[in-house]
Amino acid sequence: MDVHLAILCILTFVIHLIGTLAYAVRIAGVRTRRIAVSFALFNILVLISRTSNSFQGPFLAKRIEQNIHHGVAHGLLGDFRWLLLSATLATAFGAFLIPTFQRIFSRAVQHFQVNRSIPQLLMRGLFKGGLTQLKDVASLPASTNVTQMRVGHGLSYWVILLNVAAVALWTIGVFASLYAGYLNPELRVTSSTLSSVVNGMATIIMFVFIDPPMSVMTDDVVEGKVSEPQFRKAIVWLVGSRIAGTLLAQALLVPAALFIAFVARSM
């Protein structure tokens, strides 16, 4: 693995790590009863994710352009496999960080509720003993959340399967379109624009079929209609399905690239 590929793997890792930690924000919002504030503060991390995403695409596109220019016929698929592996590792690592992150985030929400200053919150977290408090809140996922996954998680298996599909499509959206452009260099610009079609399908699935049930369940927990342990089980299922989605992306990468190349030729 060269330095350029390592940078791409790091960017991919950051994007999927932050995406996974979004589940911890829901737990923190439920515990603090400050759901809107929780998601508002999480947008700071979303900015980091989007910045990484904005660099990832051009860096990867340049790597493909160089391979085409030098006539490299093999090896690029292996690069994509490394990137997808980074996505899986980031998701799994994020899953282990969720208990710790939701405790840290809960404290951040409570601090912001009192002081209502983002700069002050960042200063406290980075320079005023915030990092030293990690040992007080660090925690591994409870084994009972895994062993009791079969007991009333509150989400239908249809939603879980759709989340697997949505994560897989979202993970390969850009990769498949760029690889399709590599397979058909004369249509690589057209192929790259088709990534929005794949990502659009994933977005529709998430916003229409997955987010509404989770939002209703989050409100039910706040209102006392659903218990927090049951809510955490639902989060475990969603995180597990997210990991499964990144693994499924490995299998879908080449078929999706071939399909995008076919659509680009047919337009």
pLDDT digits (tens, 9 = 90+) for 139-189: 766 666 665 556 555 678 899 999 999 999 999 988 999 888 888 888 888
pLDDT of residue 45: 79
Q: Which of 6-15, 129-138, 164-173 has the lowest mean pLDDT?
A: 129-138
Distance CA(91)–CA(135), nearest Å, equals 22
- Res. 131: pLDDT tops 80: no
pLDDT of residue 250: 95
Mean of pLDDT values over 57-83: 80
pTM, 2 dp = 0.87
Nearest CA-CA partner of 109 in 86, 97, 96, 125: 125
Decide which of 124 and 193 is more confident: 193
Mean of pLDDT values over 70-79: 72
For residue 252, give the amino acid letter. Answer: L
